[in-house]
Amino acid sequence: MSGGGSSPYRRHRNDVESAGGFEDYDESASDPFDIVSTKSASVDRLRRWRQAALVLNASRRFRYTLDLKKAEEKKEIVAKIRTHAQVIRAAYLFQAAAAQTNGAEKALSSPIPTGDYSISPDQLASMTRDHDSSALQNFGGVNGLSEKLKTNPDKGIHDDESNLLERKNVFGSNTYPRKKGRSFWRFVLDACRDTTLIILMVAAAASLALGIKTEGIQEGWYDGGSIAMAVIIVIVVTAVSDYKQSLQFQNLNEEKQNIHLEVVRGGRRVEISIFDIVVGDVIPLKIGDQVPADGILISGHSLAIDESSMTGESKIVHKDQKAPFLMSGCKVADGYGTMLVTSVGINTEWGLLMASISEDNGEETPLQVRLNGVATFIGIVGLVVAIAVLIILLARYFTGHSKNPDESVQFTAGKTSLGDAVDGAIKIFTVAVTIVVVAVPEGLPLAVTLTLAYSMRKMMADKALVRRLSACETMGSATTICSDKTGTLTLNLMTVVETYICGKKIDPPNNKSEIPSTLVSLLIEAIAQNTTGSVFLPEGGGNVEVSGSPTEKAILQWGVNLGMDFDVVRSESTIVHAFPFNSEKKRGGVAVKTPASEVHIHWKGAAEIVLAACTSYMDTSGNLVPLDNDKVEYFKKAIETMAVGSLRCVAIAYRPFKWENFPTSDEELEHWQMPEDDLVLLAIIGLKDPCRPNVKDAVQLCIKAGVKVRMVTGDNLQTARAIALECGILESNADAKEPNLIEGKTFRGYSEEQRLQVADKISVMGRSSPNDKLLLVQALRKNGHVVAVTGDGTNDAPALHEADIGLAMGIQGTEVAKESSDIIILDDNFASVVKVVRWGRSVYANIQKFIQFQLTVNVAALVINVVAAVSSGDVPLNAVQLLWVNLIMDTLGALALATEPPTDHLMDRTPVGRREPLITNIMWRNLLIQAMYQVTVLLVLNFDGKRILNLEHETKENALKKKNTLIFNAFVFCQIFNEFNARKPDEFNVFQGVTKNRLFIGIISFTVILQVIIIMFLGKFTTTVRLSWQLWLVSIVIGLISWPLAVVGKLIPVSERPFSKYFTSIYKSCKPSQRRNRGSSRGNGDDT
């Protein structure tokens, strides 16, 4: 039964993704249209399906696919620009070396005053492009350059509009010239390139010339002119639809490039768009960030830059005062620091590179490729039918079997003039070509792009930015989501709620009276120096502004509550070495030189890991007390208690280090390992990050939809367990045991075979490293799952890339993570991930609705015209009428059905298998019932319409025109009513939610109004006559019957097994018998 649990989108047992073995992408697959993932498809594979497709208009069909030729050109341009930059640097180094040999010093080019600045954009661009250290020294180093640029290395520029505007006028804005989008007329030209439309225009021109010659200009232009006008209307409507679609993609592309980042202005960290950066800005950098402009390093610790995007070499370059130049477009691979912006936009190599290459070469999706296969198959059938019709009609015409409405023979050898004969042949040829137009569903593959463009625009409102088109539809096939905890399942609003200091619990956490002053000062030093966040106190007073990651902000706020003056503490001591936080080691540290020439090494990280490195703690008197087993157990119990209460546990520890033992040279410092043992425990803190209010409902919705949610987090296993129970990922405490609940290192320690066995059972993985997440993704994919993964860190990039759908976090995600992802979740909310699943399923469902609608029209139009042509030598639907039907079916049908918003019903189904038949058994049933009904009714009218409609008393010509007009009108109304049926292929109520889709209502109304205008006023062009109200009623009733017919049809049960499998099994059953026959004949031969 189709009304309840069954679905046209249901998964079949033999589907690759439903169960069973994982089938890797097969390069040698025999079907060129069978590409499961275009994410990793080779160029040869992509070229194969293009060559195999039957295409009438290549420029339109392949507009939103990867332009293979442009992709190659882009690689060559990038290589040339990189080579050019390297040659310039090499030449500069050669000159510098020669100058040193000659004892000469490079003369600094005289400054060209620009505005109120004593340095020009060209000088700045030349210095950073050539990595010219001597020029930097001549400018007075970072401080001298800051003075020339009227900025402060610590506080940045003044954040007022006039200052920013002046800097943009003098040094340029951080944008680059973009290639203009295609104009509307380019889309008109593309629409004109359709092979069949070109043929029709040529035929129309010939018909026009012959008509005017034989009948005069007043009457003779109708036949040819009407076809020409119909073709022009098709071209204009197609161009308008395509142009609007391109504007949507253009807006989305601009949104993708609009990176938001923090800059320091007036001493305060503010978030701005990358396009608003100006020369003189001071920008903090951390792991995973993109360098947003060319600049000079002000200060940094262990800063390493991946310059492969500019140099093409996968080489990490360390940056310090000796090598301070930073290039726009590169990524921060490790460490952190601050930079001074010296060049922006087109004055940077990255700007030149981006201006030289086209931004988006398009990308095909697996569904698009499959639909090209469907369109090719249907097109070949249509082409064969059209050729058959052409041959039959020409044969009947030239043998004298074709007659006019008055029963006179159309062609008599030796009597009919050449002009009349050619005109008759052109009309027949035009009908055949128009059948090809209707038969080849050129709009079918383009409907994917249309629904994706619509979905992507709407998904932006649902806080999801799609970076790869294919991810939008693949999300509908997702069987599991591996989600982070912090910020995705939780609110990412952390606060310190529990603290253990001096060997006991401090309540409230900022109660200084119970903590010795020595310990308070050490804690404040640790909090202020071992952080990538910052604290800003407005000069005029007001609330303290804390910035950084949620964890950093919570700890900094706790430090402020303890009496920390951030700027004073940071100025009193100096960071001499840093070990940035590492998701593998789960901790980060700094070595700080104090005014007393002592070194304090501060560590901060996962509580149990830092605790394991501690050997003592400080008591209430400020004395060091050794950590005995009892105290270690006390702290472990405290950590466990906090974790069970869903708190994130962080420990802060330090150790003193003698300045005499500290490395003296930069080289020694580079290889020096900060001591990680014999630490003094200062504090263990518990941070509360509450679950998002709607997350439990979102998880339950996923479970109902057949999508398993797994939590993969770096947090303590007990914290993960508590949050998982709160979110509904674990249903009860009974589920909270191995292998449902597993630690990263345990999973990592398994063999590959064991990982494959355990992966399906895992619901929560705690204390996981990014590599553990990658191993889990690989195991799940090998087990046949379609995996979606969320990630925010740089180290998550491999897992995001490996997954079928990588989902990066928009707020906490690094630029590296975002670039490796397919979709960016703008609000970091798990509920938004679930909305993406709904949209993914909606894409697939909308395409299937459109296929069902279009194939019904295809089958009905072809059968009606073929049967009529073979039997009577005349076709009831002429060229102009068929072009109008094609417009309803192709462009307008796609707009109406491919833009249906998703419904909750979509989440009542299991995920869509990526190799499931596009045309399911339910769809075959629906379209065959409707097509058979339309064909039967309209053929009965064609052959016996005069009697049924009581037209026998009228002249033959008038009766024929009325009958054919009624057939055309009834056929169009059948499509209009059937468009409603196509909205809900497996539901009885086809009107549910119809009022919410204004575009659908608008297109239906537009079609009806235009049909009335065609019949009532444009009879000369369409070869129709005005119908009486009784015949209008007959037309509408014929169309209306399709509604109850659809309801009755949905009561007919269909097999679970796809129809195509029956043909395959019959074919396979025939093959063994053939082999046996051949084998027995060989045996007989041998005996003789």
Active site residues: 484
DSSP string of 610-656? HHHTEEEEE-TTS-EEE--HHHHHHHHHHHHHHHHTTEEEEEEEEEE
- Rounded (10°) CA dihedral 127, 130, 134, 135: -20
Which residues share a beta bridge with 334? 304
Closest by CA to 914, choosing from 14, 12, 21, 36, is: 36
Closest by CA to 9, choosing from 1061, 927, 929, 841, is: 841
Closest by CA to 145, choosing from 156, 136, 154, 134, is: 136
* Per-residue CA distances from 853 to 441, 811, 894, 896, 1004 (Å): 11, 42, 9, 11, 14
Helices (H), 728-829: 744-749, 752-759, 770-782, 797-802, 815-820
Contact in structure between 1004 and 19 (CB atoms under 8 Å): no
Backbone angles phi, psi at 794, to 5 degrees: -60, -40
At position 761, the amino acid (one-letter code) is: K
Which residues share a beta bridge with 614? 679
Query: H helices then E strands: how many in the chain?
Result: 40, 26
For residue 464, give both structure tokens. Answer: 């999801």
Backbone angles phi, psi at 41, to 5 degrees: -70, 145
> CA-to-CA distance for 984 and 839, rounded, in angstroms?
16
Closest by CA to 238, choosing from 887, 885, 1014, 857, is: 887
> CA-to-CA distance for 420 and 509, rounded, in angstroms?
100
CB atoms within 10 A of CB 58: 14
Q: Long-range CB contacts (< 8 A, 24+ apart) of 979-984?
A: 979/853, 979/893, 979/896, 979/897, 979/1004, 980/1043, 981/926, 981/930, 981/1042, 981/1043, 981/1046, 982/849, 982/850, 982/852, 982/853, 982/856, 982/897, 983/849, 983/897, 983/900
For residue 48, give both structure tokens. Answer: 């194969």
3-class SS letters over 194-236: CHHHHHHHHHHHHHHHHHHHHHCHHHHCHHHHHHHHHHHHHHH
Backbone angles phi, psi at 498, to 5 degrees: -140, 140
| Torsion region of 1000: left, alpha or beta (phi above 0 gives left; psi -120 to 50 gives alpha) | alpha
Query: At which residue do the structure tokens 């509920």 appear?
Result: 831
> CA-to-CA distance for 1038 and 620, rounded, in angstroms?
92
Q: Would you give the end-to-end CA distance of the chain in angstroms?
A: 60
For residue 463, give both structure tokens. Answer: 């806080």
Helices (H), 258-345: 308-311
* Per-residue CA distances from 910 to 6, 49, 620, 779 (Å): 10, 29, 60, 21
> CA-to-CA distance for 902 and 863, rounded, in angstroms?
34
> CA-to-CA distance for 548 and 566, rounded, in angstroms?
14
> CA-to-CA distance for 473 and 839, rounded, in angstroms?
8
* Per-residue CA distances from 905 to 180, 915, 923, 992 (Å): 41, 22, 17, 11
Query: At which residue do the structure tokens 């401090």 appear?
Result: 506
> CA-to-CA distance for 1001 and 312, rounded, in angstroms?
53
